[in-house]
Structures are given as structure tokens and as C-alpha cells.
Structure 1
């Protein structure tokens, strides 16, 4: 690919995008949620593992249930967001590899290796969660990622029918209220945390 995104697009996704703490009273449609997923699933994962499992809490009832498991400072963010996604992962993602990665017997790489599956599921679902956030921004939506919640309780409540799934983090999605954001925190220069050798 030789084309690059415009500065306007890069601003939308990265440079001007912010983490929101409050939301405008403007809904996110089911179609927009599907559009986010159709983009995020295209992001690369190791051997196309696709271990991410997502619950899109759109109804007020589901957001109230989720808010119960969040730390006090995050509850209102969840309740007032048009959508709050639970980003989770499947510890048995390898069962899907015969059709997701049909080039070879990738399933056998992970059979009997619980710790290896956990590591791969955690890493690659985190990538998928990041793709979710970037996809939402690319579609003109704002995000409020958060980790201040009880993962075990959330897993039990929202993945009860899938005992091998685990909740990892949350992402509120909607149209952000700019009055609820803080001044941007510092971002390090290249030489601070990078080596070019």
C-alpha cells in the first residue's frame, strides 16, 4: 500500500483524539457498532487467532449491571455512555483455528498448553481492543477506555455462559463532552523510551 492517511485523519485517530469522561446525549446505533467490529476484525493477530470476545452494553439495563462492578469514579462514565464495550478473551481460542488459520494445523500448537494460550489470548485480544478504539475514532466516535472494574465479577456476570472467556478492560463509546476532559498529559519525545540501533 502506498497511500497514506491525511493529516485530518491522523488528527482524528491520534493527535487530537482524547479520552472522554462524559458523553453528549446522542445515541450510537447498532449499525455503528457493527461497523466498528467490521474494521477491528481486520487488524492483525498472531496466526489470525482472533481471541477477542466483545460484549456491547447498549441498553441502560446492561450498563447499570456493568457499572455495579466498576470503581466509583467509573460508574457514571459507564451509565451515561451510549455504549460500553467489554473487551474480553477466550482461553480456548485455539479451537477456532482450523477455520481461522487453515494454512496449517495451528490448533495443535496450543493443545495442552494452558499458560501459552492465556499469554497469546491476552496479548492478541489487547491488540483487538486497541483496534476497536481506533476503529471507533476513525468512524467519528469518541472513546473512554478504562480498567477500574472488578474483572472477575464482570466475567461471571457477562460471560457466565462461556466459562473459558475472561473480561479484560472496558471502553465507553459515544460522542464525548469536551467539558469532561483534562488537559492532555505529557507525551514523551522519541529518545525518552526508544532506541534506534
Structure 2
């Protein structure tokens, strides 16, 4: 059984963490990305399906290309960030289940239709995208998740060799510059959107 995190850790991951619009000049390295991935992959997904597929972009050429498919101010955020990541989902995640969920060899057959696979892949890649945000924060980085982009163009540009992989959302990544954020938006009290029955 896990132990409760202290207030510093809870602040780092949730209470004082923010989504950033800009970053310092501190770099993001391939080693940093590997450390983030090694944490986020431990988060739970349905039947350990690990449906998310990540494209980590460190080169300016790659960031410029991704930015060309983003809308509004998102393009500039992507160009200027130390790194960006595309969180996609694999429609054929079920083909990997014999390896990833070995105690149920029949699990591949639990997802017989594209419609059902899309629902599961999208949901679980969204979870893994959230784990990415938490892992990045836990390791001292900040993120700027966004959905304002042309999914079809991103898929064509970054997943052309994997046509069964589709983009879910994208995020910038780096060490956040506090001058680029607004005051925190309101968060609702428990009784606003919760019921206990």
C-alpha cells in the first residue's frame, strides 16, 4: 500500500502546478523524455492496453512543422517551447495484448470492432496523456496541453507510416516561465459537481 505524499509533492503535482504558455531556456533532453515516459507508462489503463503513442519533438524543424497545424496562439507556443509532444492512440492496440496482458491470452478478441477499439484507445490514451502531465510535473517540468490543431494534418505529417495511429492532443514541455501564466482560474467546491449516494 502506498504512503500519502507530503504537501510539497502535492503542490508540485496539483495545487500550485499550472499549465504554461511559455518556458525558460532550460533544455529538455532525450534522457528527460525517457524518464517521463518511464513514469507515465506505470499508470493504469484498461487491460494494460498502453494505447497511447507519443511523438516527442525536440528539433526546431519538427516544432515548426507541428506549429503550422495549430490554431491561434498555440502555434507560437509550440515554436518557442523547448519541446512538444503529440499524444496519439493506436487503433490496433489489441494486437499487443498477448504481450501486455499475458494472463488473458484471449484479450485480443475482446475488441472485435473498430468502433469499440477507437472508444477504448481514445479513453486510455487520454489517461496516459494525463499521466504524462503528472510525470512531467513530478520530475520538475511543466506542460501546456492543447487541442487547438488540425488532427488530420497532424496525423498525415507525423503518423503517415502508422495510419492506424490518430492524434488525441498535443502539449508543450519545459520549465515554465511564471510570467506567461494568468491568475489561476476558479476551481469548484466539492458540493458543486459531486454527489455521494
Q: Which residue of 2 aligns with 1:109?
A: 110
**1:85-120: per-residue Cα shift (whole Å, max 9, x none)?**
000000110010011101111001113x11110000
SS in 1 for 2:168: strand
- Residues matched between the structures, number: 196
Deviation by residue 1:7-46 (Cα, 9 ceiling, x = unmatched):
0000000000001001111101111100000000000000
- Unaligned 5+ segments in structure 2 are none
- State the match for 1:123 in structure 2: 123
Shift of 1:3: 1.1
TM-score, normalised via structure 1 length: 0.98
**Structure 1 residues 105-145: Cα deviation after superposition (integer angstroms, max 9, x where no partner):** 1001113x111100000000000000000000000001111
Partner of 2:171: 171
Distance across 2 between alignment mates of 1:117 and 1:76: 34
Structure 2 residue aligned with 1:96: 96
Instruction: Say whether residues 1:61 and 2:61 are aligned partners.
Output: yes
Measure, in 2, the Cα distance between the counterparts of 1:186 and 1:40.
27
1:2 CA displacement? 4.0
SS in 2 for 1:106: helix
Shift >6 Å, 4+ stretches: none
Measure, in 1, the Cα distance between the counterparts of 2:141 and 2:109.
40
C-alpha RMSD of matched pairs (Å): 0.7
Residue ranges of structure 1 left out of the alignment (5+ in a row): none
Residue of structure 1 equivalent to 2:146 = 146
3-state DSSP of counterpart to 2:73: helix
In structure 2, the partner of 1:74 is 74
